[in-house]
Amino acid sequence: MYCTYHRLHLTTTSSLRSLNFNFHRHHHHPIPTRVAVCSGRQFSMDCIGSENMVVGDILSLQSKIAAIRAAGPSKLQVIADFDATLTKYNINGQRGQTSHALLQQGNPEYDLKRQKLYDNYHPLEICPAIPVEEKTKLMEEWWEKTHALLVEGGLTFNDIRKSVANARMAFRDGVIELFQILEKKNVPLLIFSAGLADIIEEVLRQKIQRPFKNIEIVSNRMVFDNQGNLSSFKGKTIHVLNKNEHALDMVAPLHDEMGVVDEPVIDYVAMKRRTNVLLLGDHIGDLGMSDGLSYETRISVGFLNDKINESLESYSKAFDVVLLNDAPMSGVVDLLYQLIKDGID
């Protein structure tokens, strides 16, 4: 598939007026696999590898960067999908596991039952012929059946720990730096997932091994009894078709230990004041994660990990920036330095 796009070059300076935007049109074909990443605070096609970043509308992106810079970090929030966005799509030549797929509940019978549900419903999930309303009901049905099997099969919190320890999952290079910058600048990060919040938290604990006070999770949350056995799920079900900010009643800070039922009250008013959004996702549907926000400016970054030739045109129209070939998070980090004005002190 052929696609016309712009090459972008941004030079980091302390003055917005002195930003230089140099670009030219390029007919894209074919897609190479090389990603050359440099260090520093440049968001640059030359730096990241000109064949691995696509910008569909350079003038729009330029305008958005200027607006977010002018408003400052106090008006910014970051919304990110988890699987194949914060985490790598491929690990050592194999497809990385998702936060749902990695779970083994220590009961082969129930693991098989959940796999059969996947085999039945996943083709329906990706079928373009099914109307959204009908598909939404099917997804609710799938998630509720899966959650019921986890309770019935006797899932324990220790099963989660073991599953994560044995999982084929890793964060993209640069994710920790992204978290550190956001924390230092007091910019909240909302992680949206149709998976399980408790698993995401355990992945963060085991892979990063330090808490971040600015990270909140919007996902399905488990409730465990005093013995660490799963007893129920809290709140409404979040699935792939309702994963947006209408689910903010499910948001919660990172837990230090296994599921807590009573969480601190989230300051929704303060969140709503942050009217600029940096959104990260790997599916076009992830753009809906900001649907519940009355945002002023949104910059969207899409990770196109697979089927690049088939999907590049649609991704480049949907996202402001597209990173190709399971790219590292470095491009997002470099963009973030532009958005927070003077960078990190």
Residues assigned a catalytic role:
81, 83
Residue 6's CB is within 10 A of a number of other CB atoms, namely 18
Q: Is 11 exposed, middle or buried (0-12, 13-18, 19+ CB in 10 A)?
A: middle
321-324 and 297-304 beta bridge pairing = parallel
| Residue linked to tokens 């910058």 | 181
Helix (H, G, I), strand (E, B) or coil at 78: strand
Helix (H, G, I), strand (E, B) or coil at 330: helix
Picking from 120, 74, 70, 67, the residue whose alpha carbon sits closest to that of residue 214 is 74
| Residue linked to tokens 């399905």 | 220
Picking from 302, 309, 295, the residue whose alpha carbon sits closest to that of residue 331 is 302
For residues 106 and 221, give the distance between their C-alpha atoms in angstroms, rounded to a whole number.
20
Please report the beta strands in the chain, taking only residues with DSSP state E, as ranges in sequence order: 3-6, 9-10, 25-28, 43-44, 53-55, 76-81, 90-91, 94-95, 189-196, 215-224, 230-234, 251-253, 276-281, 297-304, 321-324
- Looking at this protein, which amino acid is placed at residue 325? N
Q: Which residues 6+ apart lie within 8 Å of 40 measured at CB?
A: 12, 47, 334
* Contact between residue 194 and residue 240 where contact means Cβ atoms under 8 Å apart: yes
For residues 293 and 285, give the distance between their C-alpha atoms in angstroms, rounded to a whole number.
16
Q: Is 269 exposed, middle or buried (0-12, 13-18, 19+ CB in 10 A)?
A: exposed
Helix (H, G, I), strand (E, B) or coil at 22: coil
Q: Is 228 exposed, middle or buried (0-12, 13-18, 19+ CB in 10 A)?
A: middle
- What are residue 41's DSSP bridge partners? none
